[in-house]
């Protein structure tokens, strides 16, 4: 009986392998691209903007490579950039610990690689195909992808206006608590690239001539890109700049690209691609996870260029503004929550103090105008004794002042874990000396002959009093996860939380979920919840990382707040305008690729109150500036109980655009409204609330 089953299975596989696949074009509409089908060949030609015309020939014969030919050129004179390639994916499967005590689905405190895990090559048996149009995008979906407990399809998306395309294994599993990583790339069983190229971490182009004997090697690169170069041009391969990097405490460069033969001992042939290190930074390593039954997109991007590798990399760098935050008129960029601990580990360590510390140069290079630190979170003596605590604060203030200038403001700050509960950040508009403890006989505040006022804080009431007196702000760090699991929900009825001194919370992409078209929604859901609680709170972005070096993959783990400010304040005069912009919601959050230079509803901007008549009619006006083609915008509103979402499809956009949109919306009986905007690589931006008076 067993022999009969095996024979039947064999003939089934042979039949599936040999049959002519069906290509469904019923969902394809004329959007400027063209599709032809000739037996097992699908040829797609699409307008590639200034690069001319791009063409891809896909072969559905399982005996042949999928990418039969990839071409680019002007007019009818297309040049073949490469040929004979197959997409390749390695899926690494482990187990997630979704403990309610650590945040449940949003858990960060997990060490997945310390539990059993295994890697699988994703098998792609090309069966039927479907070609559809989504605005300016042409999508080819090919059924027949699977690995271990995952099943799904291969999806290739071409973008009008650019020689850009995306390759994804779209896979799903019904097994709960499954953690994954994926490596991916393009592989050839026969031909080699003329040369492999990349930028080293110093920004210098490197080249290697591949040979048939080259076994795969992992490469430390800048800009997350590996490039194959041929006589007629180059193909640059890179991941989504933020989505591909699961959250860690460190931004170490873990050699995120590879090239060579027999990658992972699972992918025969010579290839190049992207990869993840299962061990991460050897701290908490949560990997990716998504709810059972959802479709997870294991994807990467390719960009074609008829020039050499350096020219191709220059084109890739444009998508992230060369890994820097673009200046926007009327705004200053601010990043928060850095634990580099320069004060204790350098300034007070007895080591030579560099005139220009590396971490400052790195942050400046990323286009940051303002950086708020989170010192003494581990090192240091927040609770005293006074001699140590005040010495540390004095050094912190001296160094931040020294390292600030007319175009860069380095601001002192701390992440506290006492008084309020969970972890939270304190931010004052000038240097403040305070000790996070008070003995019964000690006064709340006393005058020090050299330092001025020194505060001793013994409880949450005194902490609130200090923030009120010194016009400071506090907010929940990594809300609802990590050391703030359960917060701020636990203290939402506390006077300190309801006060104007408590801003709200900070956003970072935790967890990493490849089944959604955005980065993490954890804190955005909290933002909506806080508004429905009847509280006027805001959410700023946070990096929450430790080491800061030129070698690190900083940009992937960064995010930024664009504060509505015309100029930087002077360190000597205090930075009250920075806190005012944050407190009043005069900012938007961005990963860098999507910007919101202006936003209003019926003339009212973020942080303001909008009066709505009984009809509820309103108009959202929003200017967007983007690099990758946009995906969608979402208008989110609430009535104090429910949350409403209206999604606006932006798939008619092409790469590198800027436009002011106008959308009608009915806000009857709503109490607040905000807007998000996301591109096709899950990069995004979101506004703060506009409050509604019905």
CA distance 23 to 66: 14
Instruction: Mark which of 294, 319, 344 sits at the end of a domain.
Output: 319
Give mean pLDDT in consecutive 10-residue pieces for the chain, a chain of 694 residues: 41 51 94 96 97 97 97 92 98 92 88 97 97 98 97 98 98 96 96 95 96 93 98 98 97 98 95 98 96 97 98 98 98 97 94 95 98 93 96 98 97 95 97 97 96 97 98 98 96 98 98 97 98 98 97 98 97 98 98 98 98 95 98 98 98 98 97 98 98 93
Q: Are strands 433-435 and 370-372 parallel, antiparallel or unpaired?
A: unpaired
Do 408 and 535 belong to one domain?
A: yes
CA distance 542 to 427: 13
Do 459 and 509 belong to one domain?
A: yes
CA distance 205 to 222: 10
* C-alpha closest to that of 42 among 61, 63, 14, 29: 61
Evaluate the CA torsion angle 239, 242, 243, 248 in order and state its sign: positive
Do 235 and 251 belong to one domain?
A: yes
Gyration radius of the chain over CA positions: 27
Do 504 and 624 belong to one domain?
A: no
pLDDT at residue 266, rounded to an integer: 97
Do 35 and 47 belong to one domain?
A: yes
Residue at 494 is within a domain:
yes
b/e map 374-395, b = 16+ CB within 10 Å: bbbbeebbbeeeeeebbebbbb
| CATH, residue 601 | 2.60.40.770
Residue at 636 is within a domain:
yes
What is the model's pTM?
0.95
Do 257 and 162 belong to one domain?
A: yes
| CATH, residue 150 | 2.70.98
pLDDT at residue 17, rounded to an integer: 47
Judge whether 541 and 560 are in contact, CB under 8 Å: yes
* C-alpha closest to that of 492 among 462, 428, 537, 524: 537
Judge whether 183 and 90 are in contact, CB under 8 Å: yes
Residue at 115 is within a domain:
yes
pLDDT at residue 100, rounded to an integer: 81
Residue at 530 is within a domain:
yes
Residue at 170 is within a domain:
yes
Q: Which two tokens stand for residue 227?
A: 């490039």
Domain count, the chain: 3
Where do we find the tokens 């004060």? Answer: 343
Distances (CA, A) of 541 to 131, 191, 244, 673: 39, 46, 19, 19
Do 400 and 500 belong to one domain?
A: yes
Do 285 and 334 belong to one domain?
A: no
Q: Which two tokens stand for residue 191?
A: 């031909």
In DSSP notation, 382-401 reads TT--HHHHHHHHHHHHHHHH
> Quick one: how many helices (H) and strands (E) in the chain?
10, 44
Do 404 and 362 belong to one domain?
A: yes
Do 580 and 662 belong to one domain?
A: no
Evaluate the CA torsion angle 177, 181, 185, 190 in order and state its sign: negative
Q: What H or E segment, with its residue span, contains residue 466?
A: helix 460-469
CA distance 608 to 436: 35
* C-alpha closest to that of 166 among 230, 221, 237, 227: 237
Residues 6+ apart with CB under 8 A from 19: none
Residue at 271 is within a domain:
yes
Q: Which two tokens stand for residue 563?
A: 């504060």
Q: What H or E segment, with its residue span, contains residue 46?
A: strand 41-47
| CATH, residue 580 | 3.20.20.140
Quickly count: other Cβ atoms within 10 Å of residue 10's Cβ.
Answer: 10
Residue at 141 is within a domain:
yes
Do 450 and 528 belong to one domain?
A: yes
Residue at 8 is within a domain:
no
Residue 187, CA atoms < 13 Å, CB-side half-sphere: 24
Instruction: Mark which of 592, 618, 640 sits at the end of a domain.
Output: 592
Do 292 and 341 belong to one domain?
A: no
pLDDT at residue 21, rounded to an integer: 86
Residues 6+ apart with CB under 8 A from 210: 192, 193, 195, 196, 259, 260, 270
CA distance 599 to 619: 11
Instruction: Mark which of 299, 319, 339 sits at the end of a domain.
Output: 319
Q: Residue 88: which domain range?
A: 23-319
pLDDT at residue 18, rounded to an integer: 54
* C-alpha closest to that of 225 among 152, 275, 290, 190: 275
pLDDT at residue 14, rounded to an integer: 46
């Amino acid at each position: 009986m067993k022999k009969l089953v095996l024979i039947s299975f064999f003939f089934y596989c042979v039949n599936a392998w040999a049959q002519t696949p069906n290509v469904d074009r019923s969902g394809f509409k004329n959007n400027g691209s063209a599709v032809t089908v000739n037996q097992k060949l699908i040829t797609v030609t699409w307008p590639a903007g200034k690069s001319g015309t791009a063409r891809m020939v896909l072969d559905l014969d399982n005996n042949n490579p999928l990418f039969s030919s990839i071409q680019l050129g002007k007019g009818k004179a297309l040049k073949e950039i490469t040929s004979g390639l197959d997409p390749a994916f390695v899926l690494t499967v482990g187990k997630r610990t979704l403990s309610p005590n650590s945040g449940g689905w949003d858990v960060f405190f997990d060490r997945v690689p310390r539990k059993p895990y295994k890697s699988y090559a994703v098998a792609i048996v090309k069966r039927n195909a479907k070609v559809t149009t989504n605005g300016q995008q042409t999508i080819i979906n090919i059924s027949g992808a699977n690995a271990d407990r995952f099943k799904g399809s291969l999806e290739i998306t071409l973008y009008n206006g650019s020689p850009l395309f995306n390759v994804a294994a779209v896979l799903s599993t019904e097994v709960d608590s499954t953690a994954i990583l994926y490596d991916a790339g393009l592989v050839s069983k026969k031909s080699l690239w003329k040369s492999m190229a990349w930028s080293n971490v110093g920004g210098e182009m490197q080249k290697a001539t591949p040979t048939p004997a080259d076994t795969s090697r992992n490469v430390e690169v800048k800009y997350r890109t590996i490039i194959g170069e041929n006589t007629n041009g180059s193909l640059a391969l890179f991941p989504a700049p933020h989505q591909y990097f699961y959250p860690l405490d460190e931004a170490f460069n873990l050699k995120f690209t590879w090239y060579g033969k027999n990658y992972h001992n699972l992918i025969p042939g010579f290839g190049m691609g992207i990869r993840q290190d299962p061990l991460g930074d050897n701290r908490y390593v949560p990997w990716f996870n998504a709810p059972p039954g959802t479709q997870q997109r294991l994807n990467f991007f390719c960009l074609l260029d008829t020039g050499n590798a350096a020219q191709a990399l220059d084109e890739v760098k444009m998508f992230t503004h060369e890994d820097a935050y673009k200046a926007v008129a009327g705004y200053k960029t601010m990043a928060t929550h850095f634990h580099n601990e320069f004060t204790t580990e350098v300034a007070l360590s007895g080591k030579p103090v560099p005139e220009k510390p590396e971490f400052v140069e790195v942050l400046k290079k990323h286009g940051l105008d303002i950086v708020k630190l989170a010192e003494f979170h581990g090192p240091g003596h927040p609770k005293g004794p006074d001699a140590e605590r005040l010495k540390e604060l004095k050094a912190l203030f001296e160094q931040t002042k020294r390292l600030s200038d007319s175009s860069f403001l380095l601001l002192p700050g701390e992440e506290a874990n006492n008084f309020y509960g969970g972890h939270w950040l304190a931010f004052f508009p000038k240097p403040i000396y305070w000790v996070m403890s008070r003995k019964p006989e000690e006064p709340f505040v006393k005058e020090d002959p050299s330092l001025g006022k020194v505060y001793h804080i013994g409880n949450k009431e005194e902490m609130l009093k200090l923030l009120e007196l010194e016009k400071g702000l506090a907010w929940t760090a990594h809300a609802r996860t990590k050391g703030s699991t359960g917060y701020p929900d636990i203290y939402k009825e506390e006077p300190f939380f309801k006060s104007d001194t408590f801003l709200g919370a900070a956003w970072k992409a935790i967890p990493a979920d490849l089944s959604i078209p955005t980065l993490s929604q954890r804190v955005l859901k909290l933002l909506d919840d806080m508004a429905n609680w009847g509280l006027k709170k805001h959410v700023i972005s946070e990096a929450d990382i430790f080491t800061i070096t030129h070698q690190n993959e900083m940009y992937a783990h960064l995010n930024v707040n664009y504060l509505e400010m015309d100029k930087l304040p002077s360190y000597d005069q205090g930075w009250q305008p920075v806190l005012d912009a944050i407190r009043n919601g005069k900012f938007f959050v961005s990963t860098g690729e999507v910007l919101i230079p202006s936003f209003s509803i019926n003339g009212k901007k973020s942080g303001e109150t909008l009066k709505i008549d009984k009809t509820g009619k309103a108009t959202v006006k929003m200017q967007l500036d983007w690099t990758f083609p946009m995906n969608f915008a979402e208008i989110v509103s609430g009535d104090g109980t429910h949350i409403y979402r209206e999604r606006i499809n932006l798939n008619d956009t092409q790469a590198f655009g800027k436009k002011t949109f106008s959308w009608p919306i009915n806000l009857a009986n709503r109490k607040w409204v905000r807007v998000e905007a996301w591109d096709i690589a899950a990069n995004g931006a979101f506004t703060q609330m506009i409050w509604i008076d019905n």
